[in-house]
Structure 1
Amino acid sequence: MDIILCDELLQEIFHRLPSPSASAVSLVSKRWLHLLRSSLSSLSLRLSPNHHHHPSLSTFISHHTFLTSLSITSSTTTNSDHLLFTIATTCRNLILLHLSTGPVSISPLLSLSTSCPQLSSLSIILSRHNLNLHFLPYFLFLKALALTVTGNASPGFNSDQFTTTSAQLQLQSLSVSGIQHGDYALNYLWRNCSYETVTKLVFENCDGVGDNYSFNCLIKGLNNLQELEFRTCRSIIGSILRKLAENRCEKLFSLLIHDGGNKDGLLHFIRETNCNLQKLDFRLPLDLGDTHLFEIGVKFNRLRVLKLQSCCMVTNEGLKTLGLALSDSLEELSLTNCDVVKRQNGLLVELAQSLRKLKILDLSYNRMLLDKEFVSMISSYTDLRKLKLRGCSKLTDVSLISLCKNCKHLESVDVAYCPGIQVEGVEFIILNSPELRNVQVEDRKLSEVARRWMTNKFIEVHP
């Protein structure tokens, strides 16, 4: 067979194989290994902590000449210039590059812009010591940029604030991480982003935005902004939310705030904005309360997705009022590690009676959730498609039996790290859920019968 099949036919077969089979294909022969590598269009690598970009990594990358998507991450921060040069000379078809091994220098980035002219998504780490963004215009088709700034600044590093060079960057998605008050080199980015094209803006671990005037000019013009995310940005989030409320960004439909909010700024934004949010994702243990929930119910009555994680200050009254307000629209609800679920017995049952249109439910890490409440609740969710119960340590097989009886359209279930759920319960749900396609559970809880059934029904399993 190895002789009969031509290279093109083998590569087409490789494309159609499920991903777990790739490791077996690579062991057949050197020819198959070469063809497999050359046929891959997407590759994701995670480097070990003691890896220091040995030549073997560059050699490995050089074998994958047809990659359009490449992601390399590492838990250690090292210079990645040599690796980036290898990528630039080898992977000329790249459209997406995520390089989280930085920092990188300007020279290999310029080489990358020439060698990979179709690159549209770039994620890199730059050193604050030599922060310079004038390479960006050379990526002619760049639509998504994720920029992380690391290291300490040196004297004179703010000189970029005096430059007047201009370029029209057609970015649609912009993510910045690690920005501080003195990072005036970011002004080049704020001044040159096209106001009309930016639809997604992400801030992570930011204590500042560089020069406030340049940044405010950008914020005032973001009329087409659709998605906004803040992660650990307590010092800047209040002012940005207030400016966006004044800007009347009517197209904004998704807001995420994790680990550091501003009570007053968030409340002002909810009350004053003209946008019609459809997705809210909050992880705010001390910055989200019932007042926010009441206002959300009044203002965003078409909300489709609500995610609350570790929100300790909300009460059952706030959630029940919000559930009633969103009864006709909410399709996805996440109450992850929420203290109110533990404090208030029966809350989930009352919510279920209001939110009968839910298709996705995440109750992960609610360790005091009992079978009795779950069974009473799940009978209202007859159209549920995805359910996450990861880390719910009090639940047993009784809950899974009730789940199967009530949710006939279940496609995905996560019951990992639930010690009360046994092999029999997992087997029962796999055999009695006709539309099930994805299961997340420990490997030791899969019986031989369950494994055979999953193979026949093409059900994927993840830990």
Structure 2
Amino acid sequence: MACGNREKRVRCGTVEESNAREPDFIDQLPEECLVLIFRFLPLIRDRCSCAAVSKKWLHVQARMRRSDWRSEQDEACSPSKEISRCLDMEEANDTRLAAMAIGIPYQGVLTELAISASLPSLPFSSRGDQMTDYGLSIISQVCLNLRSLTLWNCTKVGNKGIASLANCCTSLEKFSLSNSPSITDDGLLLIAKGCPDLSSLILNSCWSIGNRSLDAFAKHSNKLKLFILERCPVVKDSAIISMLTNLQELRMLKIRSMEIRDAVLEAVGRHAKQVRTLYLEKVWGITEEGYHWIGFNENLQSLSLNCCIGLTDKSFRRTADRNMYLGLKKIAIKNCRSLTDDGLVELTRSAKSLKSITLEKLDRITSSGLVEALSNCSRTLKELSLLKCNLIQSDAHPLPRHFPLFKAVTLNQCHGVGDGFLVRMGWACKKVEEIRLVCMDSITDSGILGFLYQLGSRTNITKLDLSGCRLVTDRSLRAIAQRCQELEELDLSGCRISDQGVECLASEGPSWLQALSLAGCAEITDKSLEALQTLCVSLESLNVTRCPGISQEAISSFKEVCFFCDVRG
């Protein structure tokens, strides 16, 4: 018996050894033969199953065109819906793109693709299989209707992959490229010539991109509407000016972390009348005279200046023989430390159509300067945002009598703005709908009560954010409940609110409150949740995180009653 088993084991081992020695004839077939075999696969699930056998079979199928397949069964049932895909980190590799190329034509028409690879310096990135020209070429050959492509940190993609993209995806409209050192002007020249419908171009940290490619876009991309240029040190002023003067459809220009000269802004003011939106952030090399040219563009509607070296009050001075900033409706100035009251007042005197003003970290703006600036545009202003602006003596200067169109105000960490300023805002802005007072330690119940009193017994407020206002208590909440019957969103995070205030809100407050945040309100307990059950018909979102007085049992009970409300706690 033992001998028989031994012989059986020997025979088995002999068979296994013989099988191991048998050559794999299928794997040894040339790719041309495999293509011929795969052509007769009738269904997509069969093709996907074969693609899962080995990387060789996967890549052979990925390189096949739709016209290579003999079966026509899938043509009739191929979905026509537009789809988008995003590949992040380890998913951004050639193998994943090859698999996508096989299956995605039968899921829909891929029109948007975003690929963000991981950087080699990240410790959790093995970087074994990366995206290269091969992967971009495969997906370009299959997804001929691709209209939007984003390539971030694809360091192995070069001009060869870009050439395939330009040849196959001629309908490309949006192209975003970031940190791709292997792509040079030669590659982008092909995009400029091969993609005539390009409307959006973003170049970020492209160290090998220079003037030649931008000159090509200026010549061929007649439909370009948006151009963003960031950290591209090889690009010089002449290429930017060429795009400004030649692209008559260009509507938005953003330049960030670049050295540019006055000539660029002169082109914006004198020649690029088609530009409606201009963003300048962390730029240097421009003088106050250069910034002055911006005002000559009477069609400019939105202007954002962030940390702009060289910007001074003289940059906004008015010219006797010419009106400035005629069409400007939105202005945002941030981290421009040289700007004072004089510059802000001059700007608002010129821009007579201003609807939105955003000021952030402007240490030299005073309360009197702000009030005078607001007076200049009181008839058109709709939104005001002050972020980290510590205005001095903000309560000493009255606001204009009436802001007929004013809808929204944001005060964020403006410790120099107190109750008096808030009360005057209520006195002047009767139609305000959105109030955001974030981390305003200088605002107390007196300011909130005075503000609401000035608005009248029935206000139009729909959104009220008092998060981080530590001196706001139940007194304010009772007034809010009684006077803000149109309120839809209320944020009281970090306020000194107790159960009594919440009960008043639930019983007397707005009937259609949709979102309420009580995060960090340490004085509320389970009683608050019991009271809020009366709002279960309208309440869609409730945040009670960091509330030690609220138990998980109370939260569970609330969810049972308000089962469609998203509760965080």
Do they superpose with TM above 0.5? Answer: yes
Q: In structure 1, the residue corresponding to 2:165 is in which secondary structure?
A: helix
Deviation at 1:300, TM superposition (A): 2.4
CA contact (8 A) 1:41 1:68 kept: yes
CA contact (8 A) 1:440 1:462 kept: no
Q: Does the alignment pair 1:251 with 2:299?
A: yes
Query: Counterparts of 1:210-249 in structure 2 under 5 Å?
Result: 220-236=270-286, 238=288, 240-245=290-295, 248-249=296-297
In structure 2, the partner of 1:308 is 359
Select which of 437, 454, 461 maps to 2:539: 454
Residues 1:116 and 1:422: Cα distance change in structure 2 (over 3 Å): farther
Structure ranking higher on relative contact order (CA contacts 8 Å, 6+ apart): 1
What is the identity, as a one-letter code, of the residue corresponding to 1:305? S
Select which of 310, 330, 346 maps to 1:262: 310
More off after superposition, 343-352 vs 86-95: 86-95
Residues 1:335 and 1:39: Cα distance change in structure 2 (over 3 Å): same
Aligned equivalents of 1:408 and 1:250: distance in 2? Answer: 42
Q: In structure 2, the residue corresponding to 1:342 is in which secondary structure?
A: coil
Aligned equivalents of 1:366 and 1:206: distance in 2? Answer: 35
Residues 1:385 and 1:232: Cα distance change in structure 2 (over 3 Å): farther
TM-score, normalisation: structure 1: 0.71
Select which of 257, 281, 284 maps to 1:205: 257
What is the identity, as a one-letter code, of the residue corresponding to 2:252? K
**Deviation sequence 1:292-337 (CA, Å, 0-9, x none):** 2322332223321111222222121122223333332221121223
Q: In structure 2, the residue corresponding to 1:251 is in which secondary structure?
A: coil
**Deviation sequence 1:39-81 (CA, Å, 0-9, x none):** 6745566x46xx4735675457965643444445567479754
In structure 1, the partner of 2:109 is 66
Residues 1:101 and 1:411: Cα distance change in structure 2 (over 3 Å): farther
Select which of 494, 508, 525 maps to 1:418: 494
More off after superposition, 448-457 vs 197-206: 448-457
More off after superposition, 301-310 vs 83-92: 83-92
Q: Does the alignment pair 1:321 with 2:372?
A: yes
In structure 2, the partner of 1:11 is none
Q: In structure 2, the residue corresponding to 1:175 is in which secondary structure?
A: strand
**Deviation sequence 1:100-133 (CA, Å, 0-9, x none):** 3345533333333444333322222154675413
Deviation at 1:177, TM superposition (A): 0.7
Select which of 229, 233, 253 maps to 1:176: 229
CA contact (8 A) 1:122 1:144 kept: yes
Structure 2 segments unaligned to the other structure (5+ residues):
1-76, 122-129, 392-413, 541-561
Deviation at 1:201, TM superposition (A): 1.0
CA contact (8 A) 1:65 1:92 kept: no
TM-score, normalisation: structure 2: 0.59
Instruction: Give me the CA root mean square deviation.
Output: 4.4
What is the identity, as a one-letter code, of the residue corresponding to 2:205? V
CA contact (8 A) 2:292 2:314 kept: no
CA contact (8 A) 1:231 1:258 kept: yes
Residues 1:349 and 1:443: Cα distance change in structure 2 (over 3 Å): closer
CA contact (8 A) 1:337 1:363 kept: no
Q: Does the alignment pair 1:383 with 2:460?
A: yes
Q: Does the alignment pair 1:347 with 2:424?
A: no
Q: Does the alignment pair 1:137 with 2:193?
A: yes
Q: In structure 2, the residue corresponding to 1:319 is in which secondary structure?
A: helix
**Deviation sequence 1:358-398 (CA, Å, 0-9, x none):** 44444334344333223322444533444444444444454
Residues 1:40 and 1:159: Cα distance change in structure 2 (over 3 Å): closer
Aligned equivalents of 1:75 and 1:372: distance in 2? Answer: 52
**Larger Rg: 1 or 2?**
2
In structure 1, the partner of 2:448 is 374
Query: Counterparts of 1:56-205 in structure 2 under 5 Å?
Result: 58=97, 59=99, 63=104, 65-73=108-116, 76=119, 81=132, 84-85=136-137, 87-89=139-141, 91-103=143-155, 104-127=157-180, 131-132=184-185, 133-134=188-189, 135-151=191-207, 160=212, 167-170=219-222, 171-180=224-233, 182-184=234-236, 187-188=238-239, 190-192=241-243, 194-205=246-257
CA contact (8 A) 2:211 2:235 kept: no
CA contact (8 A) 2:515 2:539 kept: no
Aligned equivalents of 1:377 and 1:350: distance in 2? Answer: 7
CA contact (8 A) 1:178 1:207 kept: no
What is the identity, as a one-letter code, of the residue corresponding to 2:315? H
CA contact (8 A) 1:437 1:460 kept: no
Q: Does the alignment pair 1:363 with 2:363?
A: no
**Deviation sequence 1:129-154 (CA, Å, 0-9, x none):** 75413122322211121211245x7x
Select which of 37, 53, 63 maps to 2:92: 53
Aligned equivalents of 2:568 and 2:301: distance in 1? Answer: 31
Aligned equivalents of 2:84 and 2:500: distance in 1? Answer: 38
Aligned equivalents of 2:151 and 2:482: distance in 1? Answer: 46
Residues 1:304 and 1:165: Cα distance change in structure 2 (over 3 Å): closer
Residues 1:250 and 1:158: Cα distance change in structure 2 (over 3 Å): closer
What is the identity, as a one-letter code, of the residue corresponding to 1:418? G
Aligned equivalents of 1:174 and 1:315: distance in 2? Answer: 36
Deviation at 1:205, TM superposition (A): 1.6
Q: In structure 2, the residue corresponding to 1:363 is in which secondary structure?
A: strand
Residues 1:160 and 1:39: Cα distance change in structure 2 (over 3 Å): closer
In structure 2, the partner of 1:297 is 348
What is the identity, as a one-letter code, of the residue corresponding to 2:200? A
Residues 1:310 and 1:192: Cα distance change in structure 2 (over 3 Å): closer
